């Protein structure tokens, strides 16, 4: 029987729920694999794209054991136990102490043979700088989630330049890159933006990285604290991101922000956050920097921010502006209102495309303009009648041509062109 402290188990389950899906079609994929020896105890989960395991250093067992356990069941039990309690696992059974004695329950789970085999990894991981995890998570936060642009659904670890390795993430509207470290890779790879890799629980632990190539595909392994994650890379050609990075010599206006500021809540507090693209104007006027909403015209000066160069007003999505603030990018280079904005700070940079200065005072509403335009153009176009088929033309009971009566004694219908003109005249009078 394996003894695990609830204080160690809960953080592990919080991470594994980002890999193991309770809605997986296969029952074995809704379970975790428990591997225990007297020396170490690990639990492993997978969604077939990632295999994530965590070492539980405080767990203890006297015997070797390997079995599956339903993750959702384990979560439900751990949730109702106090932090200082223990849970005891063995194949087909779980026990825990509620203070009045130990309670045990039988648990049904698939056989161990049904669980997918984790890919073998022969390359050793190499330790990375302390700043790498946060930069990695920041970069991943700028990648795309659009399924139609699959190659952008991850970040590129770019080692094409031996003198300057980079990691890059973009969704086509903004892009972030960071360098100042050496990656232990022989060629560039694209790491998918898996939910576990965005988990803040991995941000404050040391990371190590390795990659290996099998046939035409790559595998990446990330060791983060007690976690070990093995995942497939995205195969494809990543865009040439360096082409969109503005040249600093082209900047006409340069903004410098204070190292510590509270600008994010100011920007988020401006009206218009519910509009399409969440627009906000960044304004430089006589060396002062301010932000202004596009609805009521509320303007707030960013105290401590300074600017050099010509006055400029540029519109952008406020989410990208606050993201640059939160990432600590304290220098902004501007060219003109229609060119990309360049946020930089010590080996990190973000490129943001501006918005067109359209009317954002009201949410988008359908307009009747195309219909009216069609109605105005319709009288100018001469319509030719369709040839009669089986004694009918355009749904008319009696054949006719350009309004000419046939042999029928029924009154003639007005041509469609005259009906359109009458309706247009009536519309003008009403208007």
Q: Distance between CA 345 and CA 336 in Å, rounded?
A: 21
Confidence of residue 80 (pLDDT cuts 50, 70, 90): confident
Mean pLDDT of 73-84: 90
Residue 232 is encoded by which pair of tokens?
Answer: 């497939």
Report the percentage of the chain scoring pLDDT > 90.
Answer: 68
Summarised one tens digit per residue, pLDDT across range 82-120 is: 888 899 999 999 998 876 678 889 999 999 999 999 988
Specify the higher pLDDT residue, 53 or 384. 53
Nearest to 295 by CA among 273, 321, 316, 264: 273
Mean pLDDT of 55-76: 93
Confidence of residue 359 (pLDDT cuts 50, 70, 90): low
Q: Distance between CA 15 and CA 204 in Å, rounded?
A: 14
Distance from chain centroid for Cα 104: 42
- Tell me what pLDDT residue 241 has: 93
- The residue behind tokens 């009201």 is 362
**What DSSP letter does each residue of 43-107 carry, written as one string?**
EEEE-SSEEEEEE-TT-B-SS-EEEEEEHHHHHHHHHTS-TT-EEEEETTEEEEE-SSSEEEEE-
The three state secondary structure string of 119-174 is CCCCCCCEECCCCHHHHHHHHHCCCCCCHHHHHHCEEEEECCCCCCCEEEEECCCE
- Tell me what pLDDT residue 329 has: 96
Report the percentage of the chain scoring pLDDT > 70.
Answer: 82
- Tell me what pLDDT residue 356 has: 85
Q: Distance between CA 388 and CA 316 in Å, rounded?
A: 58
Does the pLDDT of residue 425 top 70, yes or no? no
Does the pLDDT of residue 62 top 60, yes or no? yes
- Tell me what pLDDT residue 200 has: 85
Q: Distance between CA 93 and CA 132 in Å, rounded?
A: 41
User: Which of 121-130, 397-406, 420-429 is most confident?
Assistant: 121-130
Specify the higher pLDDT residue, 292 or 428. 292
Q: Distance between CA 262 and CA 42 in Å, rounded?
A: 42
Q: Distance between CA 8 and CA 57 in Å, rounded?
A: 8
- Tell me what pLDDT residue 361 has: 52
Neighbours of 418 (CB within 10 A): 12
Mean pLDDT, all residues of the chain: 85
Under 8 Å between Cβ of 16 and 43: yes
Mean pLDDT of 268-283: 92
Confidence of residue 264 (pLDDT cuts 50, 70, 90): very high
Residue 360 is encoded by which pair of tokens?
Answer: 């954002």
Summarised one tens digit per residue, pLDDT across range 371-409 is: 444 334 444 444 444 333 343 333 333 333 334 444 344
Does the pLDDT of residue 6 top 90, yes or no? yes
- The residue behind tokens 């700088």 is 129
Contacts 24+ apart (CB under 8 A), 294-297: 294/360, 294/361, 295/271, 295/360, 295/361, 296/271
Neighbours of 317 (CB within 10 A): 19
Summarised one tens digit per residue, pLDDT across range 300-331 is: 999 999 999 999 999 999 999 999 999 999 99
Summarised one tens digit per residue, pLDDT across range 330-354 is: 999 999 999 999 999 999 999 999 9
Confidence of residue 431 (pLDDT cuts 50, 70, 90): low
Residue 342, C-beta contacts closer than 8 angstroms, at least 6 positions apart: 245, 246, 248, 251, 332, 333, 334, 349, 350, 351
Mean pLDDT of 213-231: 91
CB burial of residue 173 (10 Å; 0-12, 13-18, 19+): middle
Does the pLDDT of residue 203 top 70, yes or no? yes
């Amino acid at each position: 029987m394996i003894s695990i402290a609830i204080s160690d188990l809960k953080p592990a389950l919080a991470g594994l729920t980002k890999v193991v899906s309770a809605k997986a079609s296969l029952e074995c994929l809704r379970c975790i694999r428990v591997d225990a020896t007297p020396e170490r105890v690990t639990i492993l989960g997978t969604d077939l794209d990632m295999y994530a395991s965590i070492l539980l250093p405080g767990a203890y067992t006297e015997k070797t054991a390997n079995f599956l356990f339903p993750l959702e069941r384990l979560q439900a039990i751990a949730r109702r136990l106090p932090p200082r309690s223990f849970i005891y696992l063995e194949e087909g059974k779980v026990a825990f102490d509620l203070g009045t004695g130990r309670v045990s329950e039988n648990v049904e789970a698939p056989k161990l043979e049904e669980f997918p085999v984790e890919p073998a990894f022969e390359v050793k991981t190499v330790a990375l700088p302390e700043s790498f995890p946060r930069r990695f998570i920041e970069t991943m936060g700028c990648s795309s989630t659009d399924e139609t642009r699959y190659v952008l659904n991850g970040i590129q670890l770019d080692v094409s330049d031996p003198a300057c390795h980079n990691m890059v993430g973009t969704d086509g509207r903004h892009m972030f890159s960071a360098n100042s470290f050496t990656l232990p890779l022989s060629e560039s790879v694209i790491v998918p933006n898996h939910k576990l890799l965005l988990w803040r629980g991995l941000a404050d632990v040391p990371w190590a990285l390795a990659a290996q190539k099998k046939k035409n595909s790559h595998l990446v392994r990330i060791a983060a604290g007690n976690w070990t994650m093995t995942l497939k890379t995205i195969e494809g050609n990543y865009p040439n991101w360096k082409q969109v990075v503005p040249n600093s010599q082209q900047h006409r206006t340069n903004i410098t922000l204070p190292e510590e500021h509270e600008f994010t809540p100011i920007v988020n507090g401006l009206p218009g956050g519910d509009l399409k693209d969440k627009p906000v104007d960044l304004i430089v006027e006589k060396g002062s920097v301010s932000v202004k909403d596009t609805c009521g015209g509320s303007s707030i000066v960013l105290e401590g921010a300074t600017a050099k160069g010509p006055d400029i007003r540029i519109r952008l999505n406020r989410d990208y502006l606050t993201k640059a603030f939160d990432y600590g990018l304290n220098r902004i280079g501007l060219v003109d209102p229609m060119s990309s904005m360049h946020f930089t700070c010590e080996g990190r940079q973000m490129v943001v495309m501006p918005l067109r200065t359209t009317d954002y005072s009201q949410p988008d509403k359908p307009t009747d303009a195309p219909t009216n335009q069609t109605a105005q153009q319709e009288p100018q176009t001469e319509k030719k009648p369709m040839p009669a088929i089986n004694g009918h033309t355009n749904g008319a009971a009696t054949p006719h041509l350009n309004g000419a009566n046939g042999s029928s004694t029924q009154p003639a219908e007005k041509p469609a062109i005259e009906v359109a003109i009458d309706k247009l005249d009536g519309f003008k009078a009403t208007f």
